[in-house]
Structure 1
Amino acid sequence: MNSVLNISAYRFVAIADPDALRARLADSAQRFGLLGTVLIAEEGINLFLAGGEASLAQFLGELRADPRFAGLAVKESWSPAQPFRKLLVKVKREIIRMNHPAIQPAAGRAPAVDAPTLKRWLDRGRDDEGRPVVTLDTRNAFEVDHGTFDGAVDWRLTKFSEFPAALQQHRGDLEGKTVVSFCTGGIRCEKAAILMREAGLARVWQLEGGILNYFEAVGGAHFHGHCFVFDERELLDAALAPVAAEPSED
């Protein structure tokens, strides 16, 4: 029985009091018995938490009472057991490290494409204006190896901070195409899309909510394999259910 609710969410928004926010959210998560990770930086918040449905609803109610997070969108999935071993609430320099301080998503997002629209584009192989569509996987290579969109561009990143240099090297390959950057939940592909726009690529979109939102909205169409997540579930299928580990060969 799937009794544990898992949530993931992020919001790029200016946070002037990251240490005070850390203390408040750590207290709230502990009171409601939640486990997982909350990252806070001056650029925003990124969280992965699991626990009882009612407890998470109360935690999110307190979080959304803060005007900075009133419209926080959350992705949900269920599992039969708690996928986290502890609660970690930390202040970081970036909620997803790119080492490119000029990129400030809170100052304005790159355009986003929703899952049904991307599926329609991939069905046709072209966008609504007839341009060829390229999906760009912004995740690490080991994540890509578990599953990705069919034909996705993969620069074999070992960490996200390598993305700016990879873009500089491969920018010409993306010219004249409609590029949709994607990742697990949306945070990496949002920064990536802004950087590509800054680099002069005119037709760049981010996949709204990443792979997890795509699975929830349209299933696994055009996606081969599973989605890696950074908790003890490790792999999710297109129904957002944990995938049993394959037996190892002796």
Structure 2
Amino acid sequence: MKILNIAAYKFVALDRLPELKDAIAQALAARQIKGTVLLAEEGINLFLAADSAAIHDFLAWLRLDARFQDLDVKQSWSAAQPFGKLLVKIKPEIIRMNHPAIQPSAGRAPAVNAATLRRWLDQGHDDDGRPVAMLDTRNTYEVDAGTFHRAIDWRLEKFTEFPQAVLDHRDALAGKTVVSFCTGGIRCEKAAIYLREAGIEHVYQLDGGILKYFEDCGPAHFDGECFVFDDRRAVDAALKPRVDIGASSDSHAPQAVGSLPA
């Protein structure tokens, strides 16, 4: 395992996006790093891979910008480069929800860390005795690769369907502690804010998503693997890839290599 894969995002107000895009693209290309970076006025979202030295050098460069000093990065390893190219794009949102009023940079919903969530799932309730409802905010094909035991799955085809699904199923969440989760944290962060605004009283986002949960807690309470948007297709609870991409680059993922979830 010689290739370091990183996933990171941060909701933070960004300006002069074309200049930032060019600077990041040049910094990545100079270090022969591949993957995808999305930029929007609301923040940054990235999935990248290269040898460890190149990745850490890029992160040191990026964190020279005060807006990215505390960028939280999830790491995993693969035997070969899982991305076919480098893409740096400017988008209206770093994860599309089509609800401009949802602004995580203005204040997050409460988060629960992996260790606390595992304890809640072990004991069958949160610390106040409420039942815990795990709410998967990902798309159908991601859920089908693996999810938490008895997680709520609304069969979303894309994240923009999430707000209407909340309105359709809101009553079923009443009286429960709802924990929204996704791959790395970005969708469940927006989801948790929307849930609270929709009147769900006890809502948390899983801090760092499934990838951070795997890193801290392994496979406990999780069935299957975590879908990822590159040639690895999915990673198991040890963050090891399903596919030996060093032996085969064939992929049946629903989206092109280098893309991020809709």
TM class by shorter chain equals over 0.9
TM-superposition CA deviations, 1:33-82 (whole Å, max 9, x none) = 10000000000000000001111111001111100000001000000000
Determine if contact 2:233/2:243 at 8 Å carries over to the other structure.
Answer: no
Distance 1:244 1:74 in 2: 23
Query: Secondary structure of the equivalent of 1:200?
Result: coil
2:166 maps to what in 1? 167
- Matched-pair identity in %: 64
1:35-184 alignment, distance < 5 Å:
35-184=34-183
Distance 1:20 1:174 in 2: 44
2:256 maps to what in 1? none
Give the C-alpha shift of residue 244 in structure 1. 3.6
Distance 1:17 1:121 in 2: 43
1:248 maps to what in 2? none
The question of 1:190 aligning with 2:208 is answered no
Determine if contact 2:139/2:159 at 8 Å carries over to the other structure.
Answer: yes
Determine if contact 2:174/2:200 at 8 Å carries over to the other structure.
Answer: yes
Query: Secondary structure of the equivalent of 2:155?
Result: coil
The question of 1:219 aligning with 2:234 is answered no
Distance 1:93 1:113 in 2: 28
Give the C-alpha shift of residue 186 in structure 1. 0.2
> Alpha carbon RMSD of aligned pairs, Å?
0.7
Distance 2:40 2:162 in 1: 20
TM-superposition CA deviations, 1:137-172 (whole Å, max 9, x none) = 000011101100000000000000000010110011
1:31 maps to what in 2? 30
Distance 1:229 1:207 in 2: 17
Distance 1:127 1:227 in 2: 24
Give the C-alpha shift of residue 18 in structure 1. 1.4
The question of 1:199 aligning with 2:225 is answered no
TM-superposition CA deviations, 1:97-153 (whole Å, max 9, x none) = 000010000000000000000000001110001111000000001110110000000
Q: Match for 1:115: what amino acid?
A: A
What residue ranges of structure 1 are gaps of 5+ in the alignment? 246-250
Distance 2:217 2:149 in 1: 15
Distance 1:170 1:17 in 2: 40
Distance 1:20 1:161 in 2: 29
Distance 1:34 1:3 in 2: 13
What is the aligned length? 244
Q: TM-score, length-normalised on structure 1?
A: 0.97
Distance 1:191 1:41 in 2: 15
Query: Secondary structure of the equivalent of 1:29?
Result: helix
Q: Match for 2:24: what amino acid?
A: L
Distance 1:213 1:109 in 2: 18
What residue ranges of structure 2 are gaps of 5+ in the alignment? 245-262
Query: Secondary structure of the equivalent of 1:78?
Result: strand
Distance 2:89 2:165 in 1: 29
Q: Match for 1:209: what amino acid?
A: G
Distance 1:244 1:190 in 2: 29
Distance 1:28 1:118 in 2: 37
